[in-house]
Chains A and B, each alone.
Chain A
Amino acid sequence: MNDECLLRLHDERFELEDYQSGVPRWCSGCGDNAILAAVQKLCRDERLHPEKTVFVSGIGCSSRFPHYMKTYGFHGIHGRALPIAEGVRMARPDLHVFVNTGDGDCCSIGAAHWVHAVRYNMNLTVLLHDNEIYGLTKKQASPTSPRGTRSNTTPRGSHLEALNPLSVTLGIQNVSFVAQAVDWIPEVLYQIVRAAFHHRGFSFVRILQRCPEWLPEHFEPYVKDPKRTLLVKHRDGLQLSEAVARTYSNNREHDPSNLAAARELATQVDPIPVGILYRDPAVPCYEDLRRSDKLRTAEFIRAGLEAEFDKFTIWPCTQN
């Protein structure tokens, strides 16, 4: 027994390699690589047991994510990462559940689930890898593509204004955590993912992510001009290194408990707001409302079942 305890103590420390599985097959320069690095660092720093950690994804470039984590992973079907993750969470509150989903996966085919997932507010860390284009199916406009985006289905430019995932999420009842990050500022990305992980509830992080293959120039103006990033700051918010603070000097103080201010901030496209827009730790989690803490022994189930049978039973007449 003692040996085992010592062993466990020793095991508590993890290295980055403990979370790395295979060589990612994303394109070089793909923003997914930055997200993977941030998440692996988070797992190490938080000492998450790989066997107690699950990454659930849908379909798309970003949804390959679980294959590159040496944890449990569930690479599901297009648009359905959220309900799968909800099922995992409901069955197993002891697991750390992350969701990786793309702009097509979450905001288009899975949009209904997204809306309801916000409302359920289950304890999930949800990373929306938003490159504003369909990648895996080779360049079609996504709901988040800015109007005028040329793609294989919109050769003369996309027709509609982009859907704003932050505004949508902030408009739904029970919203409890909304943040935005960009793949090209890794330090801030890491901090935001970490804050999301520590929020108990549905933590929604939209990560603007470069797609070097289909939209190589799309985010370049923002990458090149730090002024076009607006860092959202507040007490116990982002802890910036000096270097980052110097580069990204365009800042705004914001109270993340102020929903109206968060909504106003969310509509801003240029400069890109980066940071925690909204946080309300008081919203109850669906699994906490629904799960029973009773131990489901056979005897317990039997008692419940027999009580139901009693209601419907016709007993033989007992003769006096």
Chain B
Amino acid sequence: MKNIQTLKEHIVEVISDSGEGAQRCGQSLGSIAARMGNGIWTVEIIPAEIRPPARSVAGASGNRIRIGAGPVTNGGDRTDLVVAFNEQVLLGRVRAGELKPGCAILLESLWREHKDLNIKLAYSEVVEKLKSAGYQVREIPMDAECRKLGLAPERGKNMFALGMLCSIYSLELQLGRDQIALTFGKKDRKVIESNVKLLEAGYAWAEGNLEFKYRIPAQAPTEPNIVVNGNTALALGVLASGMEICAMYPITPATSASHYLSDVFEKVGGVVHQAEDEIAACTFAIGASYAGKCAVTITSGPGYSLKQEAIGLAVMAEIPLVVVNVQRGGPSTGQPTKAEQGDLLTAMFGSHGDAPKVVMAAATIEDCFYSVITARKIAETFNMVVVVLTDANLATSQQPFPRPKFDPAWIAPPADQSAVPEGMQPYDWEAATGLARRFIPGQPNGMHALTGLAHDRASHVAYDPQINEEGIHFRSLKLAALQRTLKTPPIHGDPQGDLLVIGWGSTKGAIEEAVDGLRADGASVSSMHLKFLQPLPPGIGEAMKRFKKVITIEANWCDRPGDELIDESNRRYSALAMLLRARYLVDVDCWSEVKGQPIKPSSIQQVIREKLAAHTEAVTS
């Protein structure tokens, strides 16, 4: 009988050449653990190329699963255990610093006896190196074991690996079988049977041959949860919002949202229009919004840049529109598959002239779902463009959240076709709020020519300077009207103290985990996370005043004060820090990382410790 070690959490990676199924193995492991009642956060490991050469250092494809005894809110720090199908992809992960010192490695051993001498040598060289660096390398004949069953290893090794992992983490094998049935449900029974056979073989092999076994205590869920990634959650949000038309152009990492939406939207009468380009996608959505219900366009950084002129048109003509920007590394083509929060200022200030629009950022997978519903509602209430920011981290990560309970109020009402009262004009801006009834084609008496030119209340082209200013004034006021309805974001931790960390978007889980850890050690630190970036909700200024220091943590660049040329007169601050400094006249500091990887809780902890220490030093010296 093996000794089962109980763990609070573990981070597991399954990596292979792309196409070998490590992603499916990892995702399945996540789902099984979630069914057991563990908290999970899965992150896709994606090579930049579709089919990188086999056995290449930059070619790792797979999944990283953080399994916890309690809820898990982010991808965590470094990996505890990795299953690798070849030593080269493993080497890539080692070089990227993703593995913990002493990390357990389960490595496919087939290469040791490979007929190609170069491969053979490369393999044993890497294994020796890793062993001497202190990694716990176990060579596993996965390929050979699959062959024993008479099954092709290149198709099924991933399920063998899944079986091993079920054994290692004491997960119920039946849940593994169920997962396979779910995944291959549409396929032949034979496919399911052979995958189950592989799963069972992997499980038995690990039971019989591995000397270790873990258990991460799970709490069986008491309410139904759904497990999806952020892009699927976005698409479900589009479905739930009652919107009818999504116009898009393929772009990484946003596209998978549209893939899923294309599959399901038509079942509820929706249309995903793949336009000829990003501009067409945006203008198509604007045309649809103008004539009916609010429409949505989903994109990523470069596509968002291309849409700017069209977004300005929607702002100017006050057409509701939801624009989702799944941020990736920039500028230019940047890092298409990597996470960054570099588009905040573009989202707020993009498009020429004064183009006020609402900017929201989803902080969790669950948020991706609800943000779209809220965005649609705000867009139609205020006749505004609402930008929803997510990022590559949320897009491809999975996390369980409570199954949403349907609310009919989520759904957009049909386009209003009632007659416009005599005398009412298409831009009868209300003095206090700037709001006006939206005139929709089909409404009798509402005929007018909507225009992107400056216009008066009748939508007549304005040649009078007064009229231009009046329009700008009222379009701006709508943001204030929305701001009055927003709540102050809650503070995570004490409402006062030494340091307040402010974040936005996908860093929420990591920031809060870091703060919790430090607070447990007695540090006086709290955090606040912003969902609305434009307008900023009320109460933030007051909240900041109750702390001695405020810092933002963001995944967009800020100059490092240690650099020779950098001082207060030229330091470029991170986006949110810049906004907070400008609005509240508070000396907000910032720390950022733009490595394309989600910021790790341990990095944040270290920053907070340094900032707290620097503060204490400054006070005591």
Contact = CB atoms under 8 A, between A and B. Distances in A.
Contacts of A112: 276-277, 280
Given A304-B267, A316-B220, A86 B287 contact: yes
Contacts, number: 202
Interface stretch (A169-177, A191-199, A200-208, A293-301): A293-301
Interface in B202-247: 220-228, 232, 236, 239-240, 242, 244-245, 247
Interface stretch (B14-22, B402-410, B520-528): B402-410
B6 interface: no
B531 interface: no
B235 to A, nearest CB: 9
Given A290-B271, A304-B268, A314-B34, A88 B242 contact: no
Contacts of A295: 269
Contacts of B224: 313-316
Interface in A58-74: 66-67, 69-74
Place the interface of chain A in its size category: 35 or more
B507 to A, nearest CB: 25
Interface string A72-86: 111111001001111
B221 A316 contact: yes
B442 A95 contact: yes
B403 A88 contact: no
Interface in B34-49: 34-35, 37
Nearest to A286: B273
Interface string B402-442: 01101010010001000000000000000000000001011
Contacts of B273: 86, 90, 290
A32 to B, nearest CB: 15
Nearest to B228: A312
B316 to A, nearest CB: 9
Contact of B245 (A84, A90, A301): A90
Chain B contact surface mostly:
mixed
Contacts of B34: 314
Contact of B239 (A71, A76, A305, A316): A305
Nearest to B280: A83
B314 to A, nearest CB: 10
A77 B313 contact: yes
B286 A84 contact: yes
28 contacts: A21-B449, A50-B447, A55-B449, A56-B287, A75-B449, A77-B309, A86-B280, A87-B284, A87-B285, A87-B287, A90-B271, A90-B273, A91-B244, A92-B441, A116-B275, A116-B280, A296-B242, A296-B269, A298-B411, A301-B239, A301-B268, A302-B406, A308-B264, A309-B226, A309-B403, A313-B224, A316-B223, A317-B221
A69 B244 contact: no
Given A50-B447, A67-B449, A91-B295, A72 B406 contact: no
A103 to B, nearest CB: 19
Q: Which 6 A-B pairs have the closest CB atoms?
A: A87-B287, A73-B449, A304-B268, A91-B292, A87-B288, A292-B269
Given A83-B287, A91-B287, A314-B227, A67 B245 contact: no
A116 B240 CA distance: 30
A288 to B, nearest CB: 12
A21 B309 CA distance: 28
Interface stretch (B110-118, B141-149, B450-458): B450-458
Contacts of A298: 242, 408, 411
A94 interface: yes
Nearest to A22: B460
A51 B445 contact: yes
A314 B221 contact: yes
Interface string A176-188: 0000000000000
Contacts of A84: 283-284, 286-287, 290
A28 to B, nearest CB: 20
Given A91-B245, A305-B239, A316-B222, A85 B287 contact: yes
A319 to B, nearest CB: 9
Most buried by B among A50, A56, A73, A83: A83
B446 interface: yes
A122 B273 CA distance: 13
Nearest to B449: A73
Contact of B283 (A70, A77, A308, A309): A77
B461 interface: yes
Most buried by B among A74, A294, A298: A74
B78 interface: no
B452 A77 contact: yes
Contacts of A87: 245, 247, 283-291, 295
A147 interface: no
Given A80-B280, A91-B295, A294-B269, 5 more contacts: A54-B441, A72-B441, A77-B309, A90-B271, A291-B271
Interface in A184-241: none
A139 B100 CA distance: 67
B288 A90 contact: yes
B447 A72 contact: yes
B372 interface: no
A51 B268 contact: no
A305 B268 contact: yes
A88 B290 contact: yes
Contact of A73 (B226, B283, B408, B448): B448
